[in-house]
Amino acid sequence: MKKTGLQALGGLVYSTDSGRMCPDCEQPQTECRCAEQAVPKGDGIARVRRETKGRGGKTVTTVSGVLLKADDLKALAKRLKNRCGCGGAVKDGVIEIQGDKAEQVCELLKAEGYQVKRAGG
């Protein structure tokens, strides 16, 4: 059956009362929790790589491919930062650890039971 009108657009996208609406949960964007509940896509293998591109020459170790929700990913990042003794962040489902800590991060992830692959340089 072909959708017409508002349904063809994917539902309500803007309300004068609350502003932009999330197309998935149909809640105002300020109250939307879809990103927190979403599990990133991937094969479940934690890929650890060392990067400097686009960071002003600073070295950063990134961990991607870990299939965890946003809160669990932040908790894992916090444990890694504490054990490495450095700072970092979680951006778009990728854990960033400051400095060249790739070997140390690989060992820590293996100790926690993750399947780990070293990627890049």
Q: What CATH architecture applies to the domain 46-118?
A: 2-Layer Sandwich (3.30)
pLDDT tens for 5-50 read 655 656 666 666 777 877 777 778 788 877 666 666 678 899 999 9
Considering the entire predicted model, what is its pTM? 0.69
Residues in Cβ contact with 7 at an 8 Å cutoff, skipping those fewer than 6 apart = none
* Residue boundaries of the structural domains of the chain: 8-37, 46-118
pLDDT tens, position by position, 79-113: 999 999 999 999 988 999 999 999 999 999 999 99
Q: List the strands of the sheet with 94-98, edge to edge.
A: 88-91, 94-98, 60-64, 46-51, 116-118
Q: What are residue 99's DSSP bridge partners?
A: none
